[in-house]
A = this chain, B = another copy of it.
Amino acid sequence: MPIYNVMEEIVKNVLDENIEQLHLSCTCKRCRNDILAISLNKLPPHYIVNKDSSPYIRAAYTADRQGATNILSTVIQAAEIVAKNKRCGN
């Protein structure tokens, strides 16, 4: 489906860039995907039809200090939830 939620890419970048500072007890794919899903369910979606406009939208979110801080705190909360309820079996 050509529609695309830019927030997926934004949250993934924030998680990847902060993975060290998050001190996750497990960084397996399942745990990271659980963190992404929980975060995305708490953040407003930003669907676009034309993926070419994705970089501009991502840049706008990054430039918006408050928005970027909100996304990071959402990812931190999601990481805490996953740390307490790991579903990967590790």
User: Is A1 interfacial (CB-CB < 8 Å)?
Assistant: yes
User: Is A18 interfacial (CB-CB < 8 Å)?
Assistant: no
Bound complex: CA A3 to CA B34 (Å)? 8
How many copies of this chain does one complex carry? 2
Q: Which of A19-27, A40-48, A63-71 contacts B (4 or more CB under 8 A)?
A: A40-48
With a 10 A CB-CB cut-off, give which of A30, A33, A44 has the most chain B CB atoms.
A33
Residue pairs across A and B with Cβ atoms less than 8 A apart, 7 shown, are A1-B8, A1-B12, A3-B37, A37-B48, A40-B45, A41-B45, A41-B46
Complex contact B47–A37 (CB within 8 A): yes
User: Is A36 interfacial (CB-CB < 8 Å)?
Assistant: yes
Residues in B neighbouring A37, C-beta threshold 8 A: 3, 47-49
A5 touches which of B33, B40, B48, B49 (Cβ 8 Å): B40
Residues in B neighbouring A89, C-beta threshold 8 A: none
A43's closest neighbor in chain B, by CB?
B45
